[in-house]
Amino acid sequence: MADDSLFEFLHMEIVSHIFNEQQSSKGELDNKDRAACISLLEAMGFRVGQGLIERLTRDTPSFKDELDIMKFICKDFWTKVFRRQVDNLRTNHQGTYVLQDNKFTLLTQFSGGKQYLDQAPKYLAFSCGVVRGALSNLGLESVVTAEVSIMPSCKFQVVIQKL
């Protein structure tokens, strides 16, 4: 029964570790290095998401369709991982979903407004991975990106890859 703050602290350390590691080996970071860090964090999250969904869906009945899966992610998965429900789910019914969380857990420690807006992608990459990992183990390959316009509200865009 680990406490929530423990996860938050650990997450911050992971983010700063990954970036410091790159910085010490490369000197200044350019955009490409930054993208590499982000995808590393995303990959770590992916594995975590896979593990979580396996344990979470152990006794859930199987899902009807894609929308059913997305609803599950927004309600049960979000509540258990990020401790609140997604505030708004929108879709174009062609495999693109936008999940809006008005008070995303990992951003609540930041000051509101625009001051740290440029830092936000670092702190969302892991969560994007978690969501993608969860969907992947439910049989949906996807691309998940996140976007912040005002802290601490955040929009996750999920694009399902049709095979």
Residues that bind another protein (CB under 8 A): 1-7, 9-11, 13-14, 16-18, 21, 40, 44-45, 47-48, 51-52, 55-56, 59-60, 79-81, 83, 126
Measured from the CB of residue 94, what is the shortest distance to another protein in angstroms? Answer: 31
Q: What's the rounded Cα separation, in Å, for the pair 64 and 11?
A: 34
The nearest distance, CB 34 to another protein, in angstroms, is: 17
Token look-up 């929009």 returns 155
With a CB cutoff of 8 Å and minimum separation 6, the contacts of 22 are 29, 33, 36, 37
**Nearest 5°: phi and psi at 153?**
-90, 145
Nearer Cβ to another protein (26/47): 47
- Say which residue the tokens 């998401």 belong to: 49
Least CB distance to another protein at residue 109 (A): 11
Residue 21 or 68: the one with the smaller Cβ distance to another protein is 21
Q: Smallest distance from the beta carbon of 15 to another protein, in angstroms? A: 11
Judge whether 155 and 98 are in contact, CB under 8 Å: yes
Q: Which residue lies nearer to another protein by CB, 73 or 160?
A: 73
Q: In terms of CB distance, is 51 or 95 closer to another protein?
A: 51
When the beta carbons of 144 and 160 are compared against another protein, the nearer one is: 144
Q: Cα–Cα distances in Å, from 86 out to 73, 83, 89?
A: 9, 10, 7
Q: Min. distance of Cβ 93 from another protein in angstroms? A: 28
Ramachandran category for residue 27: left, alpha or beta (phi over 0 → left; psi -120 to 50 → alpha): left
